[in-house]
């Protein structure tokens, strides 16, 4: 398929104005994460590489869930080297969520844009973005960071339960930005956050905390068979979630959180 002129223009701006060195664009694909994982072992593949698709037929979410998004969503994956994140690459998810929240805030400055640990982004109290980070197979030291942002895929006519929990930029604005505009802004913020984080890892907590969606809410964290409930007290320096329970403060490095 011939590439639409706005995409050609967006790709040249991405290559000129961001850290991305190569772009793959698809009008339709199974999953951008699957494609990035499939090329990750080839060391001739130059990174950072952006895999961007208008539509995914088999988008994947965290915990083995599928990720469905109608036309107008921004779906992409970045293939990166772990070492570009220094030795603390496990915090990539927190930094990525923060960078996206900051980018989206510029489009909707009047509304709260928050991060839900470990790495969802919430707009006006509803999920607007999900992130799926996966290590590349083998010992390549590469990582795939998959991002789905609801931009022009309105939830206004979605089933009522979905309308309660998810939103898109276009649902909060009189005019939706294009997916290309949002992508460019996210990439620029992401690189800025990466540089700040690598130079001063301790500053992450200071910047993340004011955007924490869970702080002060009653939550239940589930990890495998185990679960812990209590009042969320934000995160610590290591990016662990802090939950105040009847028996004291618990810290958790991973899990799925539900607000009670």
Chain residues binding ligand BTN by CB under 6 A are 31-33, 56, 59-62, 65, 67, 75-77, 120, 130-132, 146-148
The least CB distance from residue 249 to ligand BTN, in Å, is 27
The least CB distance from residue 174 to ligand BTN, in Å, is 26
- State which residue, 48 or 148, has the beta carbon closest to ligand BTN: 148
- State which residue, 128 or 170, has the beta carbon closest to ligand BTN: 128
Burial 14-29 (b: 16+ CB within 10 A, else e): beeebbbeebbbbeeb
With CB atoms as reference, the residue minimizing the distance to ligand BTN is 130
- Tokens 């939550």 locate to 219
For the chain, list the strands marked E by DSSP: 22-26, 49-53, 74-81, 113-116, 120-123, 126-135, 142-149, 218-223, 226-235, 241-245, 248-252, 256-259
Nearest of 229, 125, 242, 117 to residue 172 by alpha carbon: 125
The least CB distance from residue 108 to ligand BTN, in Å, is 20
Cβ–Cβ contacts within 10 Å for residue 254, how many? 11
Q: What token pair was written down for 154?
A: 């309105």
- State which residue, 5 or 224, has the beta carbon closest to ligand BTN: 224
- State which residue, 13 or 62, has the beta carbon closest to ligand BTN: 62
The least CB distance from residue 63 to ligand BTN, in Å, is 7
The least CB distance from residue 118 to ligand BTN, in Å, is 10
- State which residue, 75 or 96, has the beta carbon closest to ligand BTN: 75
């Amino acid at each position: 398929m011939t590439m639409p002129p706005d995409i050609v223009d967006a790709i040249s701006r991405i290559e000129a104005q961001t850290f991305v060195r190569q772009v793959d664009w698809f009008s339709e694909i199974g999953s951008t994460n699957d494609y990035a994982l499939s090329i990750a072992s080839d060391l001739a593949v130059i990174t950072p590489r952006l895999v961007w698709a208008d539509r995914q037929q088999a988008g994947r979410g965290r915990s083995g869930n599928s990720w469905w998004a109608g036309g107008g969503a921004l779906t992409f994956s970045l293939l990166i080297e772990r070492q570009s994140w220094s030795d603390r690459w496990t915090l990539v998810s927190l930094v990525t969520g923060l960078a996206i929240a900051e980018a989206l805030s510029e489009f909707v400055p009047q509304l709260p844009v928050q991060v839900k640990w470990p790495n969802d982004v919430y707009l006006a109290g509803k999920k607007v973005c999900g992130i799926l980070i996966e290590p590349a197979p083998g010992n390549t030291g590469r990582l795939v960071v998959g991002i789905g942002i609801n931009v022009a895929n309105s939830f206004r006519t979605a089933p009522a339960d979905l309308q309660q929990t998810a939103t898109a930029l276009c649902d909060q604005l009189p005019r939706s930005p294009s997916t290309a505009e949002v992508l460019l802004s996210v990439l620029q913020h992401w690189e800025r956050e990466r540089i700040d984080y690598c130079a001063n890892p301790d500053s992450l907590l200071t910047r993340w905390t004011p955007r924490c969606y869970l702080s002060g809410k009653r939550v239940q964290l589930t990890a495998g068979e185990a679960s812990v409930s209590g009042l969320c007290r934000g995160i610590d320096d290591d990016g662990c979630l802090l939950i105040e329970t009847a028996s004291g403060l618990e810290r958790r490095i991973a899990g799925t959180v539900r607000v009670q």
